[in-house]
Amino acid sequence: MNRIAPATPAADTDNRITLSLTLNGAPREGVVAPAARLSAALRDAFDCEEIKVGCDAGDCGACTVLLDGAPICACLMPAARAEGRVVETVKALAPSSGVPGKLQRAFQRHGAAQCGICTPGMLMAAEGLLRRVPHPTRPEVEEALSGVLCRCTGYSKIVSAVMDCGGADVTPPDGAVGARIERLDGLPKVLGTDLFGADGWPEGTLAVRLVRSPHHHAGFAFGDIAAWASAHPDLRAVLTAADIPGRNCHGVIPPFADQPVFAEDVARFKGEPVAAIIGPRDVVERLDLCHFPVTWEEQPAVLDIPSARAEGAPLLHEGRPGNLLTEGFVRRGAPEDALQQAAAVVEATFTTGFIEHAYIEPEAGYARRVGDRIEVWACTQAPHMDLEDLALIMDLPREAIRILPSSVGGGFGAKLDLSLQPYLALAAWVTGAPCGMVYSRRESMMTTTKRHPSQITARIGADAEGRLLGMTVAASFNTGAYASWGPTVANRVPVHASGPYFLPAYEARAAAIHSHCAPAGAFRGFGVPQGSIAQEALFDELADALGHDRLEFRIRNALETGQPTVTGQVFSQGVGIRACLEALRPAWAERRAAAAAFNAAQSAEGGALRRGVGVAGMWYGCGNTSLPNPSTIRVGIKADGTLVLHQGAMDIGQGANTVITQICAEALGLPVSAFTLVGADTDLTPDAGKTSASRQTFVSGAASLRAGAALRAQLLRRLNAGDDAQLQLAGSVISAGSAAFDLATLAGQENAFGYVLMAEETFDPPTSPLDENGQGEPYAAYGWGAHLAEIDVDIELGTIRVRDLVCAHDVGRAINPTLLEGQIEGGSAQGIGLALMEEFIPGRTENLHDYLIPTVGDVPRVDSILIEDPDAHGPFGAKGIGEQVLIPTAPAILNALRDATGAVVRDMPATPDKVLRALQSARR
């Protein structure tokens, strides 16, 4: 390590100016660099942390403010140009501190903020419109919001909120399961006071900047770092692998952990960190890292599956021959024999590319040393997993690490893996000062995990009556340079690649293959969406080959209770796929007839549009595959009657804070409004596991139910009341009918947590290991769903417009229908991106103008149909929803393309060039 003595602050050499403006109605002055981005200047010199920064390039709109009443991207304007002008941020919308204005209330009422990182910008874009057009039409709202990206919501509830600005507030119901209560953590999101990873840093926080590999694969050697550092006396430290006190390795699946914090001798993907530089922010930002003493020797790189598997391909890791990380396998019956008996067999190979999560909040956070402990404030989906890995990296006992998650501006799986946390912890430990970092958009896209590219060959056969007989699947996934969630994808895909159907004979293999790309990891579905594209496309071709209606073909084969899944698991309850598919019947019949009429008219007129309707089903196992998956929830009550829920399940926008409280409230028998919430903090909340795999409502919700019920039992004993007693809490007095008990009488008997009564309960869903043929019970429950897509295809341009989605999901029990609809709308929007526009190309699409995600104009109306087939293990019957909502959208759209035109695209995304080629092939 090259530790450098603290220096006096750098001389101010950049001719800073005093900027005078009117900010949210008040005259303000601040000292800024004249060429600084207005967004940065307002955040740094005017304490406007409500302005969010997602790209610094005018692509995301998160930084939208009003300048003289008109919306602008503050990241595109030099600060000096705001001199003397009127700037308004989201805080201008609130009549007084902490009190939401009309538009903010509408957002809260409609559930328009999920993670909330886009919300301040979205609100200001809407406000700009509403001042011009008080009662806008839907197209006017969509036009006004078209420059602001939201990756969570699918925009529908945002548009509805804007159109309902000034609408009447209804008194929200108080928390019973099934009630559409507003997000409990929603108010700070609409007020702009929520703190994300880049917010709330202590005064004097040092900046951390990483030196990264410019090559996909390169050997490297450092020169004289000490000499370089001494030439930059304002810096505080330069760190490399040699400075790691513990293990230079981390990974989300411990037996496969292989990712170095700092690469040593060889970099295996472009952007891999090799060193960290720490110092005052203005000094660190101005450094020209071209002169950092490291020499690179570029080496041949393999970036895709065929080249990684080719004879003589460079090996990424010793002990993983052929660049094979691991394989998953499921076999049931004799599929080859079954396919011989089939009346029709279809077969094809499908490919998909890297998909970037594109959350609007790039990775951000800070760490600080507190005595012999280290505290890390950062965006994460898995605080306790972060703690485990940091303890190993820092060689500190677990008790010496505290993870304080910030609010998370979108995650979708990528914030399960460590990103900047080790660098923050090391830097703060070494310097003793708080140290922070915000990834640039490019750093975020270049180096964090992606959805696995896939190459999937499937073969499926059915008899003349349309009953499935057998299926084989061979899948390869590009897992990038390090393991991340590759083993999970390899194991989960064979279990799910059949789709939610009864298949008497089946064999599926999936392999995770290393390449010199950023690690591929978790992204809503863990490989299941890629498998679903192949299986659902071939189902349409099989149904057509046999002359069956495509929806009825699926209904005929839908898994039933009592039938074994492809892993031999038999459910006696909770199998809702048939109900989901049947719920689409009316829309299927109506839209198909309308599409036929439309196409006939277009053909007659020589029009370029063709309308198509497609359908696809899905299933998804909730939680880890055949592995322990516990969550623990604590609820306690103090002598003064304060009721506290310690809820450590990360809410990354999906609504865990609200849903898990609703469940506890129902189980305890007291209203949601009685609760004080303690959110995720490894010092304060027990381990509720990671937010992934659609497990939080199902697993942490079940723990919450048990904790609520256990505390209720204690209260009932104190009251000597029966199970059906109606509890009431008034001050410190708990009562049921005429029985009452004053908790204040227990003062002095508090436990270590400060509670006079407390319950802490754990739920671990029952699963069993898979045997050598992949037979067993990998999940305690599955979520089920089916989507219908109606699209228009321009056969001259190759463009596709999704007109309508109808989405039926068996959620077991709808704990909060508004939040469920939000998940469906947001997940299906990501499915549109997967189908039509998104593909991350390493080294090329590392920003949000080359990598396109759906805007408000790309997302149609979504009709959500919630089906409640309760699960025996789920809280009040609830199942997971987070991954389920994305899986069937892309295959439904691709099937609609084939329905409209006969064109078949098997290489995702179906961009206009590919659609035109497919149209040509279809015409031959």
CB nearer to ligand FES: give 75 or 664: 75
Strand 435-438 and strand 206-212: pairing? Answer: parallel
CB nearer to ligand FES: give 61 or 621: 61
CB of 661 to ligand FES, least distance (A): 20
**866 touches 820 (CB < 8 A):** yes
**317 touches 482 (CB < 8 A):** no
Reduce the secondary structure of 738-788 to three states and give it as a string. CEEEEHHHHCCCCCCCCCCEEEEEEECCCCCCCCCCCCCCCCCCEEEEEEE
CB nearer to ligand FES: give 71 or 798: 71
CB nearer to ligand FES: give 74 or 510: 74
Cross-strand bridge partners of residue 66? 71, 88
Interface positions with ligand FES (CB under 6 A): 39, 53-56, 58-63, 73, 75, 113-118, 150-153, 360, 410, 653
CB of 151 to ligand FES, least distance (A): 5
DSSP 132-152: H-SS--HHHHHHHHTTS--SS
Question: What is each CA distance from 738 to 46, 227, 733, 734, in whole angstroms?
Answer: 56, 80, 12, 11
Pull the structure tokens for residue 471: 């299926």
CA distance 454 to 477: 5
Cross-strand bridge partners of residue 436? 207, 366
**Residue 117, φ and ψ in degrees, nearest 5:** -70, -30
Alpha helices for 287-351 (secondary structure H): 305-309, 335-341
**412 touches 361 (CB < 8 A):** no
Q: Hey, is 919 helix, strand or coil? A: helix
Reduce the secondary structure of 849-881 to three states and give it as a string. CCCCCCCHHHCCEEEEEEECCCCCCCHHHCCCC
CB nearer to ligand FES: give 113 or 481: 113
CB nearer to ligand FES: give 379 or 495: 379
- For the chain, what is the radius of gyration of the CA atoms? 28
CB of 64 to ligand FES, least distance (A): 7
CB of 847 to ligand FES, least distance (A): 10
CB of 773 to ligand FES, least distance (A): 42
CB nearer to ligand FES: give 629 or 864: 864
CB nearer to ligand FES: give 19 or 152: 152
CB of 117 to ligand FES, least distance (A): 5
CB nearer to ligand FES: give 58 or 188: 58
CB of 149 to ligand FES, least distance (A): 7
CB nearer to ligand FES: give 192 or 891: 192
CB of 188 to ligand FES, least distance (A): 13
CB of 40 to ligand FES, least distance (A): 10
Q: Hey, is 210 helix, strand or coil? A: strand
Amino acid at 777: E
The answer to whether the peptide bond before residue 909 is cis (omega within 30 degrees of 0) is yes
| DSSP type of residue 587 | H
Cross-strand bridge partners of residue 87? 23, 67
Burial of 710 (0-12, 13-18, 19+ CB in 10 A): middle
CB of 742 to ligand FES, least distance (A): 44
CA distance 500 to 558: 6
CB nearer to ligand FES: give 151 or 787: 151
For residue 254, which of 442, 392, 99, 84 has the smallest C-alpha distance?
A: 392
Helix axes 912-923, 889-901, angle to 10 degrees: 40
The CA-based dihedral angle spanning residues 856, 857, 858, 864, taken in that order and rounded to the nearest 10 degrees? 60
Longest dimension (CA), the chain: 85
Taken as a whole, the chain contains a residue count of 924
In the chain, % helix, strand, coil (3-state, to 5) comes to: 30, 25, 45
**122 touches 90 (CB < 8 A):** no
| DSSP type of residue 92 | G
CB of 524 to ligand FES, least distance (A): 14
CB nearer to ligand FES: give 94 or 360: 360
CB nearer to ligand FES: give 198 or 667: 198
CB of 72 to ligand FES, least distance (A): 9
CB nearer to ligand FES: give 151 or 638: 151
CB of 575 to ligand FES, least distance (A): 32
| DSSP type of residue 415 | G
CB of 113 to ligand FES, least distance (A): 5
CB of 150 to ligand FES, least distance (A): 3
CB nearer to ligand FES: give 125 or 424: 125
CB of 293 to ligand FES, least distance (A): 33
CB of 110 to ligand FES, least distance (A): 12
CB of 60 to ligand FES, least distance (A): 3
DSSP 674-739: GEEEE---TTTS-----S-TT-IIIIIHHHHHHHHHHHHHHHHHHHT--TT--EEEETTEEEETTE
CB nearer to ligand FES: give 830 or 895: 830
CB nearer to ligand FES: give 71 or 614: 71
Pull the structure tokens for residue 314: 């460079």
CB nearer to ligand FES: give 118 or 302: 118
Burial of 342 (0-12, 13-18, 19+ CB in 10 A): buried
